[in-house]
Amino acid sequence: MVAPTESTPAERSAGELLSLDRFAAEVYPFLELEPFHRAYYRVLEAFARRRVRRLMVTMPPQHGKSVGATTLLPAYVLGLDPDCRVAIASYSGALASKFNRRVQRILESREYGALFPATTIKQGTKPPSYIRTADEAEIIGRRGGLLSVGREGSLTGNRVDCFILDDLYKDAIEANSPVIRANCWEWYTSVVRTRMHNASRELIVFTRWHEEDLIGTLAAREPVVELTAWAQLDTLPEGAWLHMNFEAVKSSPPTQIDPRLPGEALWEAQHGVALLAAKRRLDPVQFEAMYQGHPSSREGQLYGTAFGEYDALPREIVRRANYTDTADTGDDYLCSICYAVDADGTIYVTDAVYSREPMEATEPLVAAMLLRSATRQAAVESNNGGRGFARAVQARCPGVRVEWFHQSGNKEARILSNAATALHLIRFPRGWSVRWPELYAHLTTYRRRFGANRWHDAADVVTGIVEREAVGRGRLRGVRFL
């Protein structure tokens, strides 16, 4: 084997000027990059250039995560540094080898040779002293190379400078298996971590399946910083992971990385809002995990899919009322639910407004709902601007008694202690998953571990309704009417 050589100044300069998205356009000219792809590639480039050493990326299926992270990125890294030892890992050796072969095809292409002439691999049988198989390729004249391995495979004797772990779980069956999750964790700690050194980089990229998958387990043990601004690429604390999550349907506030407004699809042309809504209706728990990056264990859900449903209201309705909780912050939802109560005390949800729109938008929506539902009395929590909201709604609905009240009870204790009563008393109209998909998703995926929930608005209103109707209006512990 020949002695390693150094890159020339001209070669180094070319690499320094070449961005990852421009590199992608040169070697994969057929790619059509959406704005989120360019943001994704910008973060991957920061990883390739060692500005970020530990990176987690979560993205919905079929949105191009593997093309960026496991095909283009390894070739780009080896072009910037032919001495780098890159390893690709996946749930099976066959899939990891497939990724490896794709990278090798880029490395031997004419376009790549023009961009990174110092990074070459064996062609045919020449030079004979270098390795090139489906699982390993050495860079000619340099110390770098490309390895691939399946989950639970061995890397004995190999140092790794840059580790890329893509799709470590084959499907939901594997991810929901405690045995496979435990084996994956053991392999990660005993193989992946032992092949790395002080300067090694690590990228984990996959679709989330379970809250205790590899990303979830790492997040419980090591610091993780959510990426919301470009400046974070250069200010990450030592030893911390940087996490970038792309939601299929935007539900979090706009950021520099993902400036979409809530409700917008990540890739409307390929996976539009209507298609995603249909997928969410099939299984909201799985959708929250796979498409939104917010997994939760079915075993840990507070309500799950146990709410009763009804086809028609009973004849004898003794009361029609409403309970509204305005948004705590700009990221929260206004939740307003109209309901009817029968003579036995069963509560039938008749209509709902569940929105993160500002109050000037939700005031007329709630007022119209109160009139449409023939509501006689509405209660509005006054904690977060609710008093002004109640007055505005009252002005639009003079025939409805709209009252505001202060809720001083502990939210966690209230929600958890009233969950069983809520499931016993409350009925939703059949097909409510289609009618109010976000409300349905947030209630059915709400977790018993209170701090694990991102939004409490729907659960808080369901609890408030139960307290008012099951305990008696005006006699609730911790509630003071104004």
Taking 50 as the threshold, does the pLDDT of residue 478 lie above it? no
Q: Where are the alpha helices (DSSP H) in 402-469?
A: 411-425, 432-435, 437-444, 457-466
Span 382-391, mean pLDDT?
83
In this prediction, residue 479 carries a pLDDT of: 40
Instruction: Return the minimum-mean-pLDDT range out of 4-13, 14-23, 28-37, 242-251.
Output: 4-13
Distance, in Å, from the CA atom of 364 to the CA atom of 387, rounded to the nearest integer, reads 15
Cα–Cα distances in Å, from 270 out to 34, 45, 275? Answer: 11, 25, 9
In this prediction, residue 98 carries a pLDDT of: 94
| Contact (Cβ atoms closer than 8 angstroms) between residue 445 and residue 284 | yes
Angle between helix 178-187 and 214-221 (nearest 10): 60
The string of DSSP letters for 348-401 reads EEEEEEEE-S-HHHHHHHHHHHHHHTT--EEEEE-TTTHHHHHHHHHHH-TTSE
Span 269-290, mean pLDDT?
89
The string of DSSP letters for 81-135 reads -TT-EEEEEESSHHHHHHHHHHHHHHHTSHHHHHH-TT----BTTBSTTS-B-SS
Cα–Cα distances in Å, from 431 out to 298, 333, 350? Answer: 21, 21, 12
Token pair listed for 129: 């002293």
Q: In the chain, how many H helices and how many E strands?
A: 18, 16
In this prediction, residue 475 carries a pLDDT of: 35
Taking 50 as the threshold, does the pLDDT of residue 418 lie above it? yes
Residue 137 three-state SS: strand
Condensed to tens digits (0 to 9), the pLDDT of residues 463-472 reads: 999 999 986 5
Distance, in Å, from the CA atom of 334 to the CA atom of 1, rounded to the nearest integer, reads 68
| Contact (Cβ atoms closer than 8 angstroms) between residue 379 and residue 397 | no
Q: How open is the CA angle 468-364-361, to the nearest 5 degrees?
A: 105
pTM surpassing 0.85? no
Distance, in Å, from the CA atom of 482 to the CA atom of 474, rounded to the nearest integer, reads 11
Condensed to tens digits (0 to 9), the pLDDT of residues 317-340 reads: 999 999 999 986 666 899 999 999
Q: How open is the CA angle 207-208-212, to the nearest 5 degrees?
A: 150
What structural domains does the chain harbor?
9-280 (3.40.50), 308-481 (3.30.420.240)
Mean pLDDT of all residues in the chain? 90
DSSP bridge partners of 353: 336
Taking 80 as the threshold, does the pLDDT of residue 289 lie above it? yes
Closest to 435 in 3D by CA, of 356, 341, 337, 298: 337
Burial class of residue 365 in the structure, from the number of CB atoms within 10 Å of its CB (0-12 exposed, 13-18 middle, 19+ buried): middle
Instruction: Return the minimum-mean-pLDDT range out of 168-177, 335-344, 373-382, 459-468.
Output: 168-177
Q: Where are the alpha helices (DSSP H) in 122-260?
A: 172-175, 178-187, 214-221
Distance, in Å, from the CA atom of 187 to the CA atom of 210, rounded to the nearest integer, reads 18
- List of long-range contacts for 109-116, beta carbons under 8 Å, 24+ apart: 109/27, 111/26, 111/27, 112/27, 112/75, 112/79, 115/14, 115/18, 115/23, 115/26, 115/27, 115/79, 116/11, 116/14, 116/15, 116/78, 116/79, 116/80, 116/82
Distance, in Å, from the CA atom of 36 to the CA atom of 270, rounded to the nearest integer, reads 13
| Contact (Cβ atoms closer than 8 angstroms) between residue 248 and residue 276 | yes
Length of the chain: 482
Confidence of residue 189 (pLDDT cuts 50, 70, 90): very high
Condensed to tens digits (0 to 9), the pLDDT of residues 68-108 reads: 999 999 999 999 999 999 999 999 999 999 999 999 999 99
**Pairing, β 426-429 against β 308-310:** parallel
Distance, in Å, from the CA atom of 289 to the CA atom of 281, rounded to the nearest integer, reads 14
Residue 206: enclosing H or E segment and its boundaries?
A: strand 201-206
Condensed to tens digits (0 to 9), the pLDDT of residues 112-145 reads: 999 999 999 999 888 989 999 999 999 999 999 9
Token pair listed for 51: 């500005």
